[in-house]
Each structure stands twice: as C-alpha cells, then as structure tokens.
Amino acid sequence: DAKTTQPNSMESNEEEPVHLPCNHSTISGTDYIHWYRQLPSQGPEYVIHGLTSNVNNRMASLAIAEDRKSSTLILHRATLRDAAVYYCILRRAGGTSYGKLTFGQGTILTVHP
C-alpha cells in the first residue's frame, strides 16, 4: 500500500473547525483514501472515504486535492468527543487484499474546551 504522511499532533478549540491534512504523494489511480479514528481506550472507528471527489457524511467532510496527492479531513465543529487519533489510510481497489487496513501513527487531535 502507498504511504501516507500526517502531522503527529494538532490542537483545536471546541466548536471550531478542524482541518486534518494527509499527504500521499505516491498514491495510485486506484487507491481509495480512508479515514478512521480511535477514541481513547476504544477500537478504531470508520469516519469517511473517497476516491476523487469531495465527500460529506454526518461525521465529517473529505476534501481531496485535484492531483490526489493530498487530502484533508474536515470536522466542521469540533467537540470534546472528537479528541482522538485520526488515521489516513490508502486502500487499493482490486488485487488480493481482503480489506486489510494498514494503520500509520496517525494524528493525535486534542480539543480544548
């Protein structure tokens, strides 16, 4: 799987937007961009995924650069409950992978009241 690079940590204030960046300069045309997060003492949790177009769901938005070499996870109004480690993961379509997720170190998001 292609490599992703994320900042080690970021901070935000409650009710402010948060933009979590991810660089994936070696992404291939068939790689999907997935985001998961891990709240303290919990298992990872799916957030959002996309291929080329920006995506929105109830949790977040995913903005994908036109060249697909980077993406940004956007939390529109951070809450204390959003404090977690956020992982940007690339998954290639097809091939022999049966859904394996390859986690990096992720970005530790701290939300201040």
Partner 1 sequence: EPEVTQTPSHQVTQMGQEVILRCVPISNHLYFYWYRQILGQKVEFLVSFYNNEISEKSEIFDDQFSVERPDGSNFTLKIRSTKLEDSAMYFCASSNSVLNSYNEQFFGPGTRLTVL
User: Which chain residues interact with partner 1 by CB under 8 A?
Assistant: 30, 32, 34, 38, 42-46, 49, 51, 87, 91-93, 96-106
Please state the closest distance from residue 111 (CB atom) to partner 1, in A: 21
**Alpha-carbon separation of residue 106 from 35, 37, 53, 81 (angstroms):** 10, 9, 23, 17
Closer to partner 1 at the Cβ: 96 or 113?
96
Closer to partner 1 at the Cβ: 3 or 112?
3
Closer to partner 1 at the Cβ: 79 or 97?
97
Question: What's the burial of 15, exposed, middle or buried (CB within 10 Å: 0-12/13-18/19+)?
Answer: exposed
Residue with tokens 């379509």: 93
Please state the closest distance from residue 11 (CB atom) to partner 1, in A: 20
